[in-house]
């Protein structure tokens, strides 16, 4: 599995170190810090989401260069293949969260319009959102390859729209969250994230086995 992880990291490195991506990301982030002050954190988050979406490129490249056929000949288990891809995705989310934490620290030192604790909370929210996003998207990447991102986002938007049409749901959720402690909210959030991650992994594993 280590070899699979190194292979994926190498593919991402080739994509990420392209000057156009690095220069654009740095310029946009610096411009956001100068022009938008603390709102630059939002810009940084959008850039991070872009880098997370490049994980889909791995699936496209695997299909294009014949990697999927190659792994069948050397009999690497589907479990190891999926595990390596999920581990890589989690590492990417953690690395980008670390970058955003650094930007948060810098913004706090410069502007102090939010407390340092609030910036840390935003960073933890970012980690939670990115992990949720990647857990939802990975099965779509496995099932639809290069079309996975588009189909996943469209279905996600449709699902959010349908949920928003449920009368009184938002008020019920807000009332429920206000009735429990911060510890209970954290515990519920972590539990949901773990269940989502496990369910996502199982779906991806079954899809890969099915595609053979």
Q: Name the band, by pLDDT with cuts 50, 70 and 90, for residue 201.
A: very high
pLDDT per residue as tens digits for the range 15-36: 777 666 667 666 766 666 666 5
CA distances from 139 to 84, 98, 171, 200, 206 (A): 14, 25, 31, 6, 9
| C-alpha span between 73 and 172 (Å, rounded) | 53
pTM: 0.83
Per-domain boundaries in the chain: 2-211
Q: Does pLDDT of 194 surpass 90?
A: yes
């Amino acid at each position: 599995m280590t070899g699979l992880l190194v292979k994926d990291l190498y593919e991402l490195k080739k994509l990420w170190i392209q000057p156009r991506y690095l220069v654009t990301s740095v310029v946009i982030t610096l411009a956001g810090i100068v022009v938008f002050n603390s709102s630059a954190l939002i810009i940084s988050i959008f850039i991070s989401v872009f880098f997370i979406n490049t994980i889909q490129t791995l699936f496209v490249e695997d299909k294009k260069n014949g990697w999927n056929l190659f792994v069948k000949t050397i009999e690497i288990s589907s479990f190891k293949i999926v595990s390596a891809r999920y581990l890589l995705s989690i590492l990417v989310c953690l690395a980008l969260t670390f970058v955003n934490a650094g930007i948060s620290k810098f913004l706090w030192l410069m502007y102090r319009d939010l407390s340092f604790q609030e910036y840390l909370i935003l960073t933890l929210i970012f980690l939670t959102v990115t992990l949720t996003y990647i857990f939802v998207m990975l099965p779509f990447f496995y099932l639809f390859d290069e079309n996975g991102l588009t189909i996943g986002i469209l279905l996600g938007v449709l699902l959010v729209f349908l949920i928003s049409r449920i009368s009184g749901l938002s008020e019920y959720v807000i009332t429920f969250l206000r009735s429990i402690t911060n510890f209970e909210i954290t515990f519920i959030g972590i539990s949901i994230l773990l269940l989502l991650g496990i369910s996502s992994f199982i779906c991806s594993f079954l899809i890969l086995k099915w595609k053979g």
